[in-house]
Structure 1
Amino acid sequence: MEYHVLIPTDFSDNAWNATVYAMNLLAEEACTFYFLNAMNAKISAMSNMSKKFNEAMSESAIKELRDLKAMAEAAHPKEKHRFEIIFSSESLNDAIATSIKKYKLNLVVMGTKGATGAKEVFFGSNTVGLISKLSLCPLIIVPEDCQFKIPKQIAFPTNFIRPYRAEDLQPLFTMSQQFGTRIRVVHIQEKSRLSAEQRNHYTLLKELLETYEHSFHWMPIYASKTHEIFDFIEELEIDMLVMINYKHSLLERFTREPVIKKIGYHPAVPFMVIPD
């Protein structure tokens, strides 16, 4: 399988750190990495002076993209890895959606801060869009200053509200095969027992994971699911958090928690969002 990976960048250290993580995660895979810088310029409404300023900004961004490509090639000289650049005058969300379709991308990797960071995407002005537009492509959010570690332990929180399909879990299966990853399924118990429907979904998930290293963990509910998940990550030395995005999913409820809206999302480990 050849990977086509999009890395949105504002040329910050945080964006570069996400780049390094992606290159290490896929070190042995054939990959084309696409660096995207989006400026969101509405040229038709601009004055001549604004247009000239916009052109200068565009030229500067394209130069920085070329410099970034050269830096990535020098820092990570792998025969299997190629690098391309994309400059867009669309909004970040629209530019990502356009790139996914145009380049048949199968992964997006981004940092947590800055103009292209996940905090802005999930909790700022971009909140409305990106997750819904990543309908065909997983997203990995890389924390600031995160040092690459092979993901040997993955936390996979679920509420068993809906059945999983094998294709939903393919990114988990792939990592398990590549790295010998153990998948730790986490259920936060909101009630004393599962409903009949939840039990069916639990049984199905157990069958899907049968040939992979895995375990199930049942945790009593705290006031905040966010804190509970973070505690689990710390206690079991989890290397990556993975959630599937669908209506009424744990992820949807997770991002709406008051503590998250108040302080923003500061993950302790890389966070993968798999689209429904």
Structure 2
Amino acid sequence: MLQIVVPTDFSNNSYNALFYAIKLFKNEKCVFHVVNVCGNGSDSVRKEVQIESELGLDAICHRLIRDAGTNKNHKLKKVSLCSNVPKGVSEYVIDHKADLVVIGNKAKEEVKHILFGTNAMQLVREVTMCPILIVPLEIDFRSIKKIGFISNYTHPLSDENYRALQFFQSMTDSAMVPMSIDDGNLDNTITMHKDRFLKVFSESIFKEVVLPVFKDKTQTILEFVDLWSIDMLCMVYYPHHFFLEFIGNGIIKELNTKLSVPFLILPGQTN
């Protein structure tokens, strides 16, 4: 069974992520680990907040069953952790060999200049052993018909990431739309990585898209998502790589306030 970890702080955005995951994986056998990190204060305080955490988990799971119904393929596991959010979730993901982490994006009016919320961005950096799916708050569930994969192929895609991307493509029966930004850097290594990707997904590729930078990289990606009706966007998180620049320069922060599709982030593992 798939092991899917869904951190929750009982907010609307975290509930929306859980609901989306339940709908997305409706035909897959899954254990959903609904995890609330309730802090690591003194023993007296810890006991009180853990009771509140357990009550909150009962309530959110009850709400989920009421809204989405029961599914014989799914099991819900309620988990209260006394830790800080990134450390607690990351260690839990490792200990339980999670296949995916699903987190909710904050509402636009909540985000302002905060990238996915502080804890969520820390999770992106800390959880490097499995993919992370970020779900925008203000979206309704819809079938995934096109997955946009963005890369400049500087690094090879790891076997683990190929399997993850193939799983999502097969599960959703979606078309793959690989996109790269023409930055003038093309060598034999990049060509080799790109050719392998195109070969692996040859039967599911709808269209390969190579775009110049229109106004800036953020706008280029947003126009790509809109123009090609992308239902899920996917990138690999490589430290010190092309897309880390997005984080360093605040470009993903801008993407985050405008992107209206789920964002699948694959860990930057290499073979």
Shorter-chain TM band: 0.7 to 0.9
Counterpart among 212, 221, 235 of residue 220 in structure 1: 212
Which residue of 1 is the match for residue 256 of structure 2? 265
What's 2:175 paired with?
182
CA contact 2:4–2:101 (8 Å) conserved in 1: yes
Distance 2:255 2:230 in 1: 21
1:142 paired residue number: 135
Paired letter, 1:25: L
- Look up the match of 1:47: none
Q: 1:160 aligns to what?
A: 153
Residue 226 of structure 1: how far off its partner (Å) = 1.5
For the aligned residues, what is the CA RMSD? 2.4
Contact residue 181 and residue 213 of structure 1 kept, 8 A: no
Question: Unpaired runs of 5+ in structure 2?
Answer: none
Measure how far apart 1:173 and its partner are. Answer: 1.0
SS in 2 for 1:108: strand
Aligned-partner Cα distance in 1 for 2:167–2:84: 32
TM-score (ref. length: structure 2): 0.88
Higher Cα Rg: structure 1 or 2? Answer: 1
SS state of the match for residue 180, structure 2?
strand
Q: Which residue of structure 1 aligns with residue 224 of structure 2?
A: 232
Deviation at 1:132, TM superposition (A): 3.6
Output the CA distance in 2 between the equivalents of 1:241 and 1:138.
Answer: 13
2:188 counterpart residue number: 196
Residue 15 (structure 1) shift: 1.1
Shift of 1:87: 0.7
Q: Give deviations 1:53-96, integer Å, cap 9, x for gaps.
A: 44322211111111222222333301111101111111111111
Note if contact 2:106-2:117 (Cα within 8 Å) is conserved in structure 1.
no
- 1:17 CA displacement: 0.8
Residue identity (%)? 23
**Is the contact made by 1:39 and 1:89 (CA closer than 8 Å) also made in structure 2?**
yes
Q: Tell me how far apart the structure 2 counterparts of residues 264 and 154 of structure 1 sit (CA, whole Å).
A: 17
Structure 1: gaps spanning 5 or more residues: 44-50
Map 1:102-141 → 2, pairs under 5 A: 102-113=95-106, 124=118, 127=121, 129-141=122-134
Is 1:91 aligned to 2:90, yes or no? no
- For 2:119 and 2:34, the matched residues in 1 are separated by 22
CA distance in 1, matches of 2:29, 2:251: 40
Q: How many residues align?
A: 263
Aligned to 1:173: 166
What amino acid sits opposite 2:204 in the alignment?
Answer: Y
- Equivalent residues of 1:23, 1:76 under 8 A apart: no
3-state SS, counterpart of residue 169 of structure 1: helix
C-alpha change, 1:88 and 1:125, in structure 2 (3 Å) is closer
Q: Distance in 2 between matches of 1:206 and 1:153?
A: 16
Counterpart of 2:57 in structure 1: which amino acid?
A: L
Where has structure 1 moved over 6 Å in runs of 4 or more?
none
Q: What residue is the counterpart of 1:3 in the other structure?
A: 2
